[in-house]
Amino acid sequence: MKAYRADVLTFQGQGVEASAHLQRDGYLVVGQSRGSPHPIFLAVGDAAAVKQQLIDGLGPEGDVDWASIPCEHLPGKILAPGFVDLHVHYPQVDVIGSPATGLLPWLENYTFPQEMRFADPAHCAAVADVFLQELMRHGVTTALAFATSHPASVNALFERAQQAHMRLITGKCLMDQHAPEGLRDTTEQSLLDSETLIQRWHGVDRLGYALTPRFVPTCSEAQLQGAGELAARYPSTWIQSHVAENRDEVAWVAQLFPKARSYLSVYEQFGLLRERALYAHGIYLDDADRQLLAQTQAAVAVSPTSNLFLGSGFFDHAAAERIPFHYGLASDVGGGTSFSPFQTMLANFYAGQASALTTGQRAKSALTPQHLWWRHTAGAAEALGLGGVVGNLAPGHEADFLVLNPQATPLLARRVSQAQTLDELLFAMIVLGDDRLIERTVMAGETRGLI
Residue nearest to Zn ion (CB): 280
CB of 161 to Zn ion, least distance (A): 19
Query: Nearer Cβ to ligand GUN, position 160 or 242?
Result: 242
Pairing of strands 401-404, 438-443: antiparallel
- Alpha-carbon radius of gyration of the chain: 21
Residues of this chain, 67-126, that bind ligand GUN according to CB under 6 A: 89, 103, 107, 111
CB of 280 to ligand GUN, least distance (A): 7
CB of 306 to ligand GUN, least distance (A): 5
CB of 227 to ligand GUN, least distance (A): 15
Integer Cα distance of 205 and 4 in angstroms? 25
CB of 214 to ligand GUN, least distance (A): 5
Residues of this chain, 304-363, that bind ligand GUN according to CB under 6 A: 306, 332, 335
Among ligand GUN, Zn ion, none, what binds residue 134 when CB lies within 5 to 8 Å by partner kind?
none
The candidate with the shortest Cα–Cα distance to 207, out of 242, 161, 243, 175, is: 161
The Cα angle at residue 397 between residues 295 and 320, in degrees rounded to 5: 30
Total residues at interface with ligand GUN (CB under 6 A): 11
Q: 197 with 236: CB under 8 angstroms?
A: no
Query: Nearer Cβ to ligand GUN, position 216 or 386?
Result: 216
Site string for ligand GUN, 371-410 (x = CB under 6 A): ----------------------------------------
DSSP per position, 47-64: HHHHHHHHHHHH-SGGG-
Residue 59, number of CB atoms within 10 A of its CB: 10
Q: What is the dihedral of CA 69, 82, 417, 363, to 10 degrees?
A: -140
Residues of this chain, 209-238, that bind ligand GUN according to CB under 6 A: 214-215
CA 86 to chain centre: 2
Among Zn ion, ligand GUN, none, what binds residue 11 when CB lies within 5 to 8 Å by partner kind?
none
Percentages (nearest 5) of helix, strand, coil residues in the chain: 45, 25, 30
CB of 187 to Zn ion, least distance (A): 22
Peptide bond into 334 cis (omega under 30): yes
CA 49 to chain centre: 30
Q: Is 150 in the site for ligand GUN (CB under 6 A)?
A: no
CB of 215 to ligand GUN, least distance (A): 4
- Binding residue for ligand GUN, selected from 138, 160, 242, 290, defined by CB under 6 A: 242
Q: Within the chain, what is the greatest distance between any pair of CA atoms?
A: 70
Q: Is 245 in the site for ligand GUN (CB under 6 A)?
A: yes
Q: 211 with 236: CB under 8 angstroms?
A: no
Site string for Zn ion, 304-343 (x = CB under 5 A): ----------------------------x-----------
Query: Nearer Cβ to ligand GUN, position 7 or 176?
Result: 176
Site string for Zn ion, 257-296 (x = CB under 5 A): -----------------------x----------------
CB of 319 to ligand GUN, least distance (A): 21
Integer Cα distance of 73 and 341 in angstroms? 26
Integer Cα distance of 324 and 276 in angstroms? 17
Q: Is 155 in the site for ligand GUN (CB under 6 A)?
A: no
Integer Cα distance of 447 and 164 in angstroms? 9
Binding site for Zn ion (CB under 5 A): 280, 332
Binding site for ligand GUN (CB under 6 A): 89, 103, 107, 111, 214-215, 242, 245, 306, 332, 335
